[in-house]
Amino acid sequence: MFDLEQSLDTSITHPVIAPAPRKASPFFWTCKRAFDIGMSLLLFPIFAIAFLSLLIFNPLFNRGSLFFIQDRMGQNCSMFRLVKFRSMHPIDKITRGPNDPLETDRITAMGRFLRKTRIDELPQILNVLRGDMSLIGPRPDYYEHAKTHIESIPGYCARHAVRPGISGLAQTKLGYSVSEDETTRKVQVDLEYIAKVSFRMEAKLVWETIKTVVTRAGA
């Protein structure tokens, strides 16, 4: 566990942290990155089909921009721009606080389908290919909310020692966090993932994610 004041460099815009202790070897992380790239390339045709389909249906059932792009906190607490297919009515400014519940009333009719099928997550393979994200890892939070969590939740910085993921151990065990207590528990699970990750754990999380998508659970 890292001391918060030692972990943050307040003289720069984006705080950085020292690498967290990791059980896995450099060989594991190299293989993990290769798997991320390979799987993202395999998923790219599905993303392309979804993209072309939504170009047709979005103006009819989900008027507005095709993509939802948001600043998220990534590895070493740096900021990156996460991209998804938009599933909610657009707003000019985010007013939801870091521990407020999801504004489900803003989800469009097509957005509910996109979320249920996880199609809205497909564009994140572009983030994976860019190196912003991994397929498996701690889920990245909205950047402004993450800065709040850094100040209030022990260990929050350390969970950014690895690339954030589209899915991860906390997502499969806990689901969506809607309070500071739940976010604190999520951080503990994320740190458990970083400390104990292995080929076996990674394979299990990939399988759990596939099952969730196929059964449409948790959406």
Q: Which two tokens stand for residue 111?
A: 């957005």
pLDDT of residue 148: 93
Residue 91 has pLDDT above 80, yes or no: no
Please give the span between the terminal C-alpha atoms of the chain, in angstroms, as a whole number. 33
Closest among 29, 44, 20 to 136, alpha carbons compared? 29
Q: Is residue 193 part of a domain?
A: yes
Q: What is the pLDDT of residues 110-127, one digit of tens each?
A: 999 999 999 999 999 999
Number of compact structural domains in the chain: 1
Residue 216 DSSP class: T
Spatial CA neighbour of 158 closest among 14, 17, 11, 13: 17
Measured distance CA(168)–CA(2) in Å, rounded: 22
Instruction: Collect contacts of 38-46 with beta carbons under 8 A, ≥24 apart.
Output: 39/135, 40/125, 40/128, 40/129, 40/135, 41/129, 43/122, 43/125, 44/125, 46/122
What percent of the chain has a predicted confidence (pLDDT) above 70?
A: 84
Is 186 a member of any domain?
yes
- Report the C-alpha gap between 107 and 117 in whole angstroms: 14
Within a domain: residue 127? yes
- Domain annotation covers residue 5: no
Q: Tens digit of pLDDT for each residue in 131-153?
A: 999 999 999 999 999 999 999 99
| 142 beta partners | 72
H or E stretch including 134?
strand 134-136
pLDDT at site 15: 45
Only one residue has tokens 């740096």, namely 78
**For residue 56, is it within any domain?**
yes
Q: Does 13 reside within a domain?
A: no
Is the pLDDT at 13 greater than 50? The verdict is no
Does residue 174 or residue 56 have the better pLDDT?
Answer: 56
Which residues, 6+ apart, have CB-to-CB distance to 199 below 8 Å?
Answer: 28, 31
Indicate the pTM of the whole model: 0.84
CA pair distance 82, 73, nearest whole angstrom: 9
The model's pLDDT over 157-214, given as tens digits with 9 standing for 90+, comes to 999 999 999 999 998 888 777 788 899 999 999 999 999 999 999 999 999 999 988 8
Mean pLDDT, the chain, rounded, equals: 86
Asked if the structure places residue 91 within a domain, the reply is yes
> Does the residue 1 lie in any domain?
no
B/e letters for 47-84, b = 16+ CB within 10 Å, e = fewer, are beebeeebeeebeeebeeeeebeeebbbbbbebbebbb
Write out the residue range of the structural domain in which residue 112 sits. Answer: 25-215
